[in-house]
Structure 1
Amino acid sequence: MTLEDGKKLDGASAMHAVVTSKYKVLIIDKAERNREAILPDGKTGWSTQYSLTNNTFRTLKLTSDTFCSAGAFLANGTLVETAGGDGMGLTGEGYRKIRLFTPCEDASCTWNEIPDTMLNARWYNTMTTLPDGNVFIIGGSTRSVAINSKIVNNPTFEIYPRSREQIPLQFLIDTLPNNLYPQVHVLPDREDTMFLFANKKSILYNYETRETIAFLPDIPGPPRSYPLTGTSVLLPLSYRNNYKPEILICGGSPKTDSKAPAANSCGRIDLSKDKPVWDMDDFGGIGRVMPDSVILPNAQIVFINGAKKGFAGYVKAKGTRFVNSDPVFTPVLYDPAKEKSDRWTTLAPSKIARMYHSTATLIYDGSIFVAGSNPQPDFNPNSLFPTEYRAEKFYPPYFTSSTPRLTITSLLGEDTLSYSGVPIKIKYDQTLTVTTKTSDPEPEIFASIIHFGFVTHSTNMGQRFVELNVVGIKPTRNENEITIKVESPPNAYVIAPGPSYLFLMNKGRVCDEAVHVSLG
């Protein structure tokens, strides 16, 4: 419930952040004259592997610009990272680049910038993992722009590595000019169908037949895509309601004006209905542009970071005028299961401004890793809002509970305490046996699997929460030890194959450490 002082350094500013293994976060910035991350050859780096256990980082070499890029995991656990900028005069351009990163817990993993490239340039594109384990790459512009236009728009998608084809998508023409970093959620209840959102519009789209299934109503209020940036989340899925899909979109800005107040509104839409409509709510009482959304192991959502006014973008007028300069320090908690009047809770504030190019992601212990904020065209430590190299951990309210925490010792008979960086493989529609230690004689267990996603520009690509059915709890012969039987997700539409994390909660308090798993 409190934020640490942010004394740790992540080496590169976290424009992009992705948990690649249990104790490691991959940090990605753009190519710039950063003085914090230096390679052995003395040159500047803009990507680091950050250790969550000892707060150190290892600088990774890149030869292409990752400015405003995207990422998603293949089913085998490899991160696919695509696109970027013009190189800032420091390195090769990244517009068509594909980069691969195979995770590790030690110092053995590096970037693999493969010769194979995307078919066309993309800047501010979005990615997500498909049920077949390939990655979906959509949208963007063909060169660096502040606002997209017909001239540079890339209204297509492609699927990597399955196909070498760009498929046109009218939706990305209809949503100009505010359609960069479109929001994408694969639906759990319809085969090969996804929810696409940009600007104020949304559709249900079949990516295999290439057909628009439904045109949904425009969300009320202002645009909510870059640079008038809001955030989107697929609400937690549960077996209790047959994995009913609901989308929540919050924040945004009415226009590209540094004095424009951010939107204090959210829209929620139930896609299981025959005629879905937006149910509007406030945003916890705080207007916010460029917020980040993080799903917690208790099926609640934290919204953090952002600004009270302005829009996403860099300083103007030779670095003297900010397009966003009124940071929101206070996170808010959203409980989707409660009545509308009782869903929002204000949490403890930070002391660090996190606006343009900030990130937040859940990590293994149930806390949130918060980093980034880079409103500068290049490294500038003396600005009012300098490039931010400090990282924080935000502790949600369940950390204050006095309920004994669970310690997971094995999953399917495999030791979880001697973690080597290799996830435990689990299958769909499987009964999982979890052994835990607890001093609570009457535990009440809540189980979930969460994919943390790839975070950049208020877009958490692939973030997914699935509640698991607990079908049995019984003590073992060992003191303070129990076994728990839970059912894994039924199929890859509910949650995609690849890396995720299994959490247990006892009476609302998260277990000591989640288990790193690989679905498939």
Structure 2
Amino acid sequence: MTPGRPDPARRRWRRIAVVTAVVLALAGANGPWLYRFGSEKYHAYRIDRPEYKARNGRWEIVEFPEGYRQNTIHAALLRTGKVLLVAGSGNDQENFDARRFDTRVWDPVKGTVKKVPTPSDLFCTGHTQLADGNLLIAGGTQRYEKLKGDVTKAGGLMVVHNENPDKPMTIEAGTRFTGRKNGKTFVAQDAVLVPRARKRFDPETGRFLGNDAGLSRVYVEAERRGARHETGAEDNYRVQGLRGADARNTYGIAQKLALDKKDFQGIRDAYEFDPVAERYVKVDPMKEARWYPTLTTLSDGKVLSVSGLDEVGQLVPGKNEVYDPATRSWEYTGKERQFPTYPALFLTQSGKVFYSGSNAGYGPADKGRDPGVWDVRTNEFTKVPGMSDPDRLETSGTVLLPPAQDEKYLVIGGGGVGESRASTRRTRLVDLRAKNPRFTDGPSLGRGTRYPQSSILPDDTVLVSGGSEDYRGRSGSDILEARLYDPDRNSFRRVADPLVGRNYHAGSLLLPDGRVMFFGSDPLFADPANSRPGVFEQRIEVYTPPYLYRGGRPVVEGGPGTLRRGGTAVFRSPDAARLETARLIRPSASTHVTDVDQRSIALGLERTAGGVEVTVPKNRNLVQPGWYMLFLTDRDGVPSTARWVRVP
């Protein structure tokens, strides 16, 4: 050893000590990051293992190319297997003002996305599947809401009267109304046609009694800004620009016109979307303007349109109407019954309509919210008792449990009216085949849940996912959990957690390959502290259920494209020996936690030489006319890829 120089072994140990100290210091400073990194890597490894996926399924995110992304509010599965994604203005005032309205058609098999011209603002429209495979779309947005602090011009409802029995009157947008007493002038924001007056005669003598004025409503705003242009009482208003008899016969009447909050306003526009041509086809407009309506198919194949906010932002007062696909026109039902907006209304096997109490928003807290069975023809409504947390049904979901023949419904979660922080963890069950139907509690969701998404699966389970504890995910309350509900056991089973939080303006639907797609989410805030405005979730997420990780799926070949009620049909399959069930599943049309189209109908199944024979139930109210996905499922719950069939 050279005198004055350290021992080499000692130098080596000194270097090791220094390196160890540095590593420990870095670990101390970055320990949480290292832990998270390791945990995330392990989690990704664990959820990708075959045994995990066979038990819990798997989630994947689908991001469209940047130019094809949109704020999807509505989604419907088309009979082509593609998905219609509708945004309209997408809850974006700038899009609305610029008249930028969006629709996409997504092919989940090829992965392609197509832009479709959108003729009106179909934001918050209603929709349902028609018998010919078209999708009926009705209603949407005429004007965005303004909160009280944002309202700068006094405004409100003007009722325009026409006392001339010989001709209707057209009031153009921009027409001015001046109060006879208050002298204040208000401007019509839209054009409106005022029908001619109706002559009244004594039914016994035939003597003329007078005219009943034709009435129309229009939203008006003050010419100038400020509180001094508000009115405090009813007044009669002259219509400027009219002369002579027209001026005498046409006038407006308005109550208080103020700087109050202005709700969204609806449109009458209606369209059928053609899934083959992939375009909107305009049909006759509804009788009433509607924003947040529900469309429900009736026993004769016509479509009932219910609720919504009208052209001046008021709840449509129970004036319900029916669309006839044969004439593409609308008629009033002749009976009035009021519901909150987006009510969950289902056609029952008796031909009556079941209202579960679920809804998605506007309407008084004490009117039209009781669940029950409604005879649309007679307007008789029979309440169904036993609902727990009845004041927390807004933003709840309702699903007709499979098979639909059992006529059992599950009401999932929900919250208080409006922006209430209240929510419920309860689910509620009702059997409409019981002698005296009554709600009972089902399994708990574990925490209060608004906006739960639910989709029926071919193996007779229901996927329930997402939602938030608070209004629109407020305070970081999104629920990243998913469960499978088993109707036979009346129980939930946790499965893989979704990757994306979904609350308001979110939904889900079953795809023909047995997977489930999720869309949307419109949080109020972007952070748990509620300090930054929320950002609309544009990513699509797809869940692959556990049954698709249990081995090869059964193959179905041949068979007819049309099935008859009460009839049979034969399908070839090399896997016939292991097939157990056959289901017709109606394609979804989903928005605002409301999907009244989806239903799964059990078919009779008999094995034949080289295939199976299925039998379709006879009840037209159960098997509504239209296109369905036919799934054949084996003894392990593994479904075939759906065959599209039509029931005329």
Q: Same fold (TM over 0.5)?
A: yes
Q: How far apart, CA to CA, are the structure 2 residues paired with 1:21 and 1:452?
A: 8
Q: Which residue of 1 aligns with 2:480?
A: 329
**Structure 1 residues 148-227: aligned runs within 5 Å:** 151-161=314-324, 164-167=330-333, 171-172=337-338, 179-188=340-349, 190=350, 192-198=351-357, 200-212=369-381, 214-217=382-385, 219-225=387-393
- Give ranges in structure 1 of 5+ residues lacking alignment: 146-150, 313-321, 413-423, 475-481
Q: How far apart, CA to CA, are the structure 2 residues paired with 1:513 and 1:47?
A: 27
Q: 1:244 aligns with which of 395, 406, 419?
A: 406
Q: Is the 8 A contact 1:399 1:509 kept in 2?
A: no
Confirm or deny that 1:109 pairs with 2:278. Answer: yes
Deviation at 1:375, TM superposition (A): 3.7
Q: Is the 8 A contact 2:266 2:308 kept in 1?
A: no
Shift in alpha-carbon separation, 1:511–1:220, aligned structure 2, 3 A: closer
Deviation at 1:187, TM superposition (A): 0.8
Q: How far apart, CA to CA, are the structure 2 residues paired with 1:186 and 1:499?
A: 17
- Structure-1-length-normalised TM-score: 0.80
Confirm or deny that 1:279 pairs with 2:414. Answer: no
Confirm or deny that 1:119 pairs with 2:281. Answer: no
Q: How far apart, CA to CA, are the structure 1 residues paired with 2:534 and 2:371?
A: 34
RMSD across aligned positions (CA): 2.8
Shift in alpha-carbon separation, 1:282–1:512, aligned structure 2, 3 A: closer
Shift in alpha-carbon separation, 1:33–1:299, aligned structure 2, 3 A: closer
Q: Once the two structures are superposed, what CA deviation does each residue of 1:101-131 show, in whole Å capped at 9, x if it has no partner?
A: 1112xxx3211233x2000111111112223
Q: Which residue of 2 aligns with 1:429?
A: 566
Q: Once the two structures are superposed, what CA deviation does each residue of 1:471-512 show, in whole Å capped at 9, x if it has no partner?
A: 2333xxxxxxx3111101323211211111100111133334
Deviation at 1:170, TM superposition (A): 5.5
Deviation at 1:394, TM superposition (A): 0.5
Confirm or deny that 1:289 pairs with 2:458. Answer: no
Q: How far apart, CA to CA, are the structure 2 residues paired with 1:209 and 1:33?
A: 38
- By relative contact order (CA 8 Å, sep 6+), the higher-ranking structure is 1
Q: Once the two structures are superposed, what CA deviation does each residue of 1:321-380 show, in whole Å capped at 9, x if it has no partner?
A: x74741111111111111x4xx11011112212111111000101110111113479xxx
Q: Which residue of 2 aligns with 1:148?
A: none
Q: Which residue of 1 aligns with 2:415?
A: 253
Deviation at 1:143, TM superposition (A): 4.7
Which one has a larger percent helix, Structure 1 or Structure 2? 2
Q: Is the 8 A contact 1:123 1:140 kept in 2?
A: yes
Q: How far apart, CA to CA, are the structure 2 residues paired with 1:262 and 1:110?
A: 40
Q: Which residue identity is paired with 1:369?
A: M
Confirm or deny that 1:67 pairs with 2:123. Answer: yes
Q: Which residue of 1 aligns with 2:629?
A: 501
Give SS of 2:547's match: helix
Q: Which residue of 1 aligns with 2:31?
A: none
Give SS of 1:328's match: coil
Q: Is the 8 A contact 1:102 1:110 kept in 2?
A: yes
- Give ranges in structure 2 of 5+ residues lacking alignment: 1-56, 146-189, 191-264, 359-368, 526-530
Q: Which residue identity is paired with 1:128?
A: T
Q: How far apart, CA to CA, are the structure 2 residues paired with 1:154 and 1:436?
A: 54
How many residues end up aligned between the 2 structures?
451
Confirm or deny that 1:466 pairs with 2:587. Answer: no
Larger Rg: 2
Deviation at 1:166, TM superposition (A): 2.3
Deviation at 1:51, TM superposition (A): 1.1
Confirm or deny that 1:15 pairs with 2:80. Answer: no
Deviation at 1:389, TM superposition (A): 1.7
Q: Is the 8 A contact 1:5 1:392 kept in 2?
A: yes
Q: How far apart, CA to CA, are the structure 1 residues paired with 2:447 and 2:536?
A: 25
Q: How far apart, CA to CA, are the structure 1 residues paired with 2:77 and 2:485?
A: 23
Q: Is the 8 A contact 1:222 1:254 kept in 2?
A: no
Give SS of 2:320's match: strand
Q: Is the 8 A contact 1:247 1:270 kept in 2?
A: yes
Q: How far apart, CA to CA, are the structure 1 residues paired with 2:550 and 2:483?
A: 19
Give SS of 1:399's match: helix
Q: Which residue identity is paired with 2:275?
A: P
Q: Which residue identity is paired with 2:408?
A: E
Deviation at 1:270, TM superposition (A): 0.9
Deviation at 1:52, TM superposition (A): 0.8
Q: How far apart, CA to CA, are the structure 1 residues paired with 2:457 and 2:136?
A: 25
Shift in alpha-carbon separation, 1:283–1:171, aligned structure 2, 3 A: farther
Q: Which residue identity is paired with 1:297?
A: P
Deviation at 1:443, TM superposition (A): 0.9
Q: Which residue of 1 aligns with 2:299?
A: 131
Q: Which residue identity is paired with 2:348?
A: L
Give SS of 1:460's match: coil
Deviation at 1:136, TM superposition (A): 1.6
Q: Which residue of 2 aligns with 1:517?
A: 645
Q: Which residue of 1 aligns with 2:87?
A: 29
Deviation at 1:455, TM superposition (A): 0.2
Confirm or deny that 1:372 pairs with 2:531. Answer: no
Q: Once the two structures are superposed, what CA deviation does each residue of 1:288-345 show, in whole Å capped at 9, x if it has no partner?
A: 10111111101111112211222x5xxxxxxxxx74741111111111111x4xx110
Q: Is the 8 A contact 1:369 1:394 kept in 2?
A: yes
Q: Which residue of 1 aligns with 2:179?
A: none
- Structure-2-length-normalised TM-score: 0.65
Q: How far apart, CA to CA, are the structure 2 residues paired with 1:370 and 1:152?
A: 30
